Amino acid sequence: MEQTKKRIFSGIQPSGDLSLGNYIGAIKNWVNLQDDYECLYCIVDMHAITVRQTPADLRRRTLEVLMQYMAAGIDPEKSCLFIQSHASTHAELSWVLSCNTQMGELSRMTQFKEKSRKHEDNINAGLFTYPILMAADILAYQADLVPVGHDQLQHVELARDIANRFNHFYGDTLTVPEAYIPKVGKRIMSLQTPEMKMSKSDPNPNGFVRLLDDPDTIMRKFKRAVTDSDNTIKAAPEKPGVTNLLSIYSAVTNKTIEESEREFEGCGYGDFKMAVGEAVVSALKPLQAEFDRLSKDKAYVESVYKKGAEIANYLSNKTLRKVYKKVGFVAK
């Protein structure tokens, strides 16, 4: 996997069932990037343990996320698919980078503040330093681009700052990455609280759609989706619920917001929500069928993540050796 195209790295935590927000905001776009970029897509299981996990559930979800990546169209022949903990280079590089990161930078991370409020009984050091591990994830592969949502921009900026600082002190070593934000469906919001991002860890199960939800469950969630008192179907800042449903519909049907608005002109909210639900059911049907097929072929799934680990270790070890040499470690 020698680099001829620009390289992309991204990953998702296996801390819950993947949602429609994960699919539209990330995975659907990852599929479209495979032909034009050299892509590495990771299941970041090491990040997941900043919050207490049940070990058996973490193992199961890690493999389920991998299969959902593949079922969504990420091709192991085109992209490197691997599990984060299978490449020890991430943790090793993270230590060197932590010695080039300032405490003040970490204390300003919005997600640390948010997760600290949610998990007051377990504000661990990993929760504070995991943005450095995220930087190591990216920088280990000399990634040019990192597909992220707006909520992760701060972490990519930190990775850039760390890379620039390291290069300043030790010479040109690490590629300074750039964030890649898709134009459509970049931020899917909760169906119940449309001012908040759709999250797979939402305590309200009606706020998000799981990729593996059955059609009846999906339709029920969309019927209950929040809209507003004005009965016009137009995207506007003062209409977050309707805007969110239009974004979802546009993303799964590959239409623009304007095309979707024209399609539903004069339509009532009840019919509109049904149409969005049906479009989501239709979009997820082939993904769910392929997931079922993959879940019955454990040997193939294992071969994918083992091959991915080989590629990931080969690429990241090249960076780690270079970094170790620059900081003055004696070669093995």
Residues forming the active site = 115, 197, 200
Q: How many Cβ atoms are within 10 Å of 136's Cβ, its own excluded?
A: 27
In the chain, alpha helices (H): 20-22, 28-33, 45-48, 55-71, 89-98, 103-107, 110-118, 125-139, 153-170, 215-223, 240-253, 257-263, 269-295, 298-327
Rounded CA-CA distance 60/300 in Å is 16
Rounded CA-CA distance 111/224 in Å is 29
In sequence order, the 6+-apart residues with CB closer than 8 A to the CB of 103 are: none
Of the candidates 28, 153, 3, the one whose C-alpha atom is nearest the C-alpha of residue 80 is: 3
Strand arrangement of the beta sheet that strand 79-83 belongs to = 79-83, 38-43, 7-12, 145-147, 178-180
Residue 134 near residue 159, CB atoms below 8 Å: yes
Residue 199 near residue 265, CB atoms below 8 Å: no
Rounded CA-CA distance 189/241 in Å is 8
